[in-house]
Amino acid sequence: MTTDSSLLAQAREWQVLLHSGRATAADHLAAKAWRERSPAHEQAAGEVDRLWALLGQVEHPVAVPPGNLASLPPPRRRHCVRWAVPLASAALLLLALWLPQGAWLGWYADVATAPGEVRSVELDDGSILTLNGATALDWTLSEGRRTVRLYRGEVDLQVAKDSSRPFIVEAGPARIRVTGTRFDVDYDGRDVVLAVTEGQVQASDAVSQPLAVSANQQVHWRADRIQQVQPLDARQQLAWQRGKLVFRAQPLSEVFAALERSQRQRVIFLDDSVRELKVTGVFAHDDPQAVLRAIESALPVRLVRLPGLLLVSRA
């Protein structure tokens, strides 16, 4: 039977906490209760246990004095082949646990920003792209069109006017077409928000007819489909351009998603029940620790800080 990927992810998260050196007795009891919740939970925990144990069995190469190479036993080819796949899986587990969320995007994008970094790039046509933290994108300027592909993150685009070369932005399910204007695109890897500050753009998904979105309007894409046009809430949606983070009764899951753009720390929820707790407040974009302090003081949550990792559970 194939183990559900979401259960494997939760099992890995419990494993990290229990081996962090900061787990309390209550954490150990909660992990045991999670494991005993169903056979599927037990299977996921067992798979992670086996992989974790494998990480401790990787042996260091034996040092051999010069001139004693002849005394080495012949290589055990079958043994190496047998362990190749598990060792590769162990490496992937380490990457999944410790590599910052979305970090791999920067390996092949034309430009990528680190969490907390804001950078402006001027294209050859005179357009200016301002990238928020943890953003990755590519661009192509050809004779007939200009294209930006946003892999993840948020970007403000000041598009130089050129009626002969439309400017196309692709972000997940979103397709945005302009000839010259200013707008902001926010893509978290699942949903997209388009906020238009100047001019007008044409927005669509894979099947719908394009919608006209004008200045001071915004539109969302959810479940790959474009939604209705709404008035722009610039104070919240564009707060990052003013160096602010603005939350209005937003779920904790969305708040931490925003924080991942301003700090090098992956967030893992050990208790799904806290994801929907609401946060309201205005904070400095470059001070994510202030948000964490406010969350700890105002909500019934416990935050465990590890190197590059933040574990969230109910207090």
Q: Write the pLDDT tens digit of every residue in 142-167.
A: 888 999 999 999 999 999 999 899 99
Among 87-91, 92-96, 154-158, 254-258, top mean pLDDT goes to: 154-158
Q: Structure tokens of 164?
A: 């002969």
pLDDT in tens, 48-82: 887 776 555 543 444 444 444 444 444 444 444 44
Contact 277, 251 (CB under 8 A): yes
The domains of the chain are located at 5-58+74-98, 106-233, 243-314
pLDDT at position 248 over 80 = yes
Give 243-314's CATH code, choosing from 3.55.50.30, 3.10.580.10, 1.10.10.10, 3.40.50.720.
Answer: 3.55.50.30
Q: What average pLDDT does this structure show over 200-209?
A: 93
pLDDT over 60 at 129, yes or no: yes
Is the model's pLDDT at 92 over the cut of 60? no
pLDDT at position 77: 45
CATH of domain 106-233: 2.60.120.1440
Mean pLDDT across 83-88: 46
pLDDT at residue 90 tops 70: no
**pLDDT of res. 107:** 58
Tokens matching residue 274: 């806290």
Mean pLDDT within 232-256: 93
> Regarding predicted confidence, which is higher, 84 or 166?
166
| 28 confidence band (pLDDT: 50, 70, 90) | confident
Compute the distance between CA of residue 294 and CA of residue 245 in angstroms, rounded to an integer: 13
DSSP class of 89 = H
Alpha helices in 4-163 (DSSP H): 5-18, 25-35, 39-55, 77-98
